[in-house]
Amino acid sequence: MSIIVVIYFVQLFGPWFTGAQFPTLCTTSEVLQSRECCPVPEGYSEPCGGSGRGRCDFIPPSNESDYQPHFSWLTDEERAEWPSVFFDQGCVCEYPFYGFDCSQCVFGLYGDECTEKRTLVRTNVETDEAARHKFLLYAQWMKGNVSEYSVMPINFSDMFDTDGLISSKFLQVSRYDFFIWSHHYACKEYIVDGNEFPYFGFAHQSAAFSPWHRTFLMLYERDVQRLTGDEDFTVPYWKWIGMEGCPICTAEMFGYGDEYGYLTDSVWTKDFEVVCCFCGNSDTCDPTDKRGGLYREYNPDVSLPTTTQLSMLMNMRDYDTAPYNGLSNCSFRNILGGTGDADTGYHNVVRGDPFMHGAVHFSLGGIMISVPCSPNDPIFWPLHSYTDMLFEMWYRFNNATIDFYPESGAAYGHNRYAYQVPLFPVRMNNESFINSVELGYTFDDIDDRGRTSDWDSFYDESTIAECYDYI
């Protein structure tokens, strides 16, 4: 079975490779100091494959400073100038080729010449036993295999030698821990003049929440496919709206915490060690610091999302609204993420109780409450697969286009053409704000209009958010 690899950023001349952090081939001192990451693919003699395949070229600078002059004080934040603090050049692949060396196919195309188009299908993790077992088995494999990428185990300011040159202090980690590290790195708080600036990060609390996590899921699926050779693998979704308790928190599925919260009853994840949960809110985590095991403490007092709230969510007219953060009212993104009130549409920062996706995190407790390191728990993935499904339902039902996404005014890294941190070389948010079919996947229970098989049982066109009464 051939290995699948995907693409996410296609421009006139083809795609920039999109992975998180850097290929290990590009983390030697020599390559880092050259500021050029353009490997020669196997079977070729030129960087990026040469004519007909790809070329080594300059990475376009982000235009974030054009939209965010008020964030000019982010002088201590390497993420604010991603990825130019590390590399100036990378591979630009000719369509339909892809990869950090242009040796693979763009997302959704397969075969030696990348001419076979396919659309993969995500299924329900509760009802599709085969998909669930495959997901959990592959998570074990991911935990036990080394990633082809290396990560930064210390803060950026500590990555330089005595001569002021960036040095090779990157570390290889397991494929699974690589994704934990990437999520943590994107979530850690801003550093402003040496001080922590809470609430934002580059993946939550602003416009990029949906496209960033969509990309993150696709990257995970692609890495599993590459490891296993299973071209049909997708992350199954957990339909958490309207649920009572946690029906997938059983020994046979995702485990249930013992008296101390540890998932010792799960044959799938009982041996998982936890990483990136032990550093400061603004520190880059060291993924070699591994402790204990997975723990989860279900909290029955958290109000879980309802089907009435789902109906209101589908009727939200705006993907996001100013000021494009936790204070946004009448914002689909803010409600889905959890800091918007799913009953009224107003922001929920003052009240503090999370809604939708955030409520599920809080109800699970344990590691899932610590958002930056929450991917340690495999339940994170089906939770977010359904979050992505809700985004897709809304997108199709509302006939959304890229014009729904803010071009400017959002938090740093969240505007339409901002680079998604820490993806390398680059990928912009707008590239994931499209119909999922264009990205090569769909869901088993959504039609072309975004409706599900149970749509008529919950949807009411009159369920309009209260916040719209004052606009």
Q: Is 160 helix (H, G, I), strand (E, B) or coil?
A: strand
Q: What is the predicted pLDDT for the residue at 133?
A: 96
**Angle 129-144/380-397 helices, nearest 10 degrees?**
120
Q: What is the predicted pLDDT for the residue at 284?
A: 86
Residue pair 176/50 in contact by the 8 Å Cβ criterion: no
Q: What is the predicted pLDDT for the residue at 43?
A: 92
Q: What is the predicted pLDDT for the residue at 188?
A: 82
> To the nearest whole number, what is the mean pLDDT of the chain?
87
pLDDT at 197 over 80: no
**Gap between the Cα atoms of 339 and 349, Å rounded:** 6
Q: What is the predicted pLDDT for the residue at 70?
A: 46
Q: What is the predicted pLDDT for the residue at 11?
A: 32
pLDDT at 443 over 70: yes
Instruction: Report which of residues 137 and 348 the model is more confident about.
Output: 137
* Banded model confidence at residue 16, pLDDT cuts 50, 70, 90: very low
Q: What is the predicted pLDDT for the residue at 311?
A: 98
* Banded model confidence at residue 103, pLDDT cuts 50, 70, 90: confident
* Banded model confidence at residue 399, pLDDT cuts 50, 70, 90: very high
**Whose CA is closest to 434, among 399, 406, 407, 409?**
399
**Gap between the Cα atoms of 399 and 402, Å rounded:** 10
**Which tokens hold the place of 384?**
């977010």
Q: Give mean pLDDT, residues 196-224.
A: 87
* Banded model confidence at residue 73, pLDDT cuts 50, 70, 90: very low
* Banded model confidence at residue 184, pLDDT cuts 50, 70, 90: very high
Distances (CA, A) of 246 to 36, 237, 270, 359: 48, 14, 18, 12
* Banded model confidence at residue 465, pLDDT cuts 50, 70, 90: very high
Q: What is the pLDDT of residues 288-299, one digit of tens each?
A: 899 888 999 999
> Which of 2-6, 185-189, 196-200 has the largest mean confidence?
185-189
Q: What are phi and psi of 329, to 5 degrees?
A: -105, 155
Q: Give mean pLDDT, residues 338-361.
A: 87
Q: What is the pLDDT of residues 22-32, one digit of tens each?
A: 899 999 989 99
**Which tokens hold the place of 431?**
């590239």
Q: Give mean pLDDT, residues 126-145.
A: 96
- Judge if the upstream peptide bond of residue 60 is cis by omega within 30 degrees of 0: no
Judged by average pLDDT, the poorest of 23-27, 421-425, 451-455 is 421-425
pLDDT at 308 over 50: yes
**Residue showing tokens 């001419």:** 115
* Banded model confidence at residue 191, pLDDT cuts 50, 70, 90: low
pLDDT at 173 over 60: yes
User: DSSP E strands: which ranges in 59-145?
Assistant: 89-93, 97-98, 104-105, 109-110, 116-117, 120-122
Q: What is the pLDDT of residues 232-272, one digit of tens each?
A: 999 999 999 999 899 999 988 999 888 888 888 888 888 89
pLDDT at 102 over 60: yes
What percent of the chain shows pLDDT beyond 70?
A: 89
Q: What is the predicted pLDDT for the residue at 265?
A: 80
Q: What is the predicted pLDDT for the residue at 69?
A: 45
pLDDT at 37 over 70: yes
Q: Give mean pLDDT, residues 130-146.
A: 96
What pTM was estimated for this model as a whole?
0.91
Q: What is the pLDDT of residues 46-55, one digit of tens each?
A: 999 999 999 9
Q: Is 279 helix (H, G, I), strand (E, B) or coil?
A: coil
Judged by average pLDDT, the poorest of 223-237, 422-436, 444-458 is 422-436
Q: Is 404 helix (H, G, I), strand (E, B) or coil?
A: helix
Q: What is the predicted pLDDT for the residue at 195?
A: 56
**Which tokens hold the place of 115?**
């001419």
Helices (H), 341-399: 356-364, 380-397
**Whose CA is closest to 99, among 62, 53, 141, 142?**
53
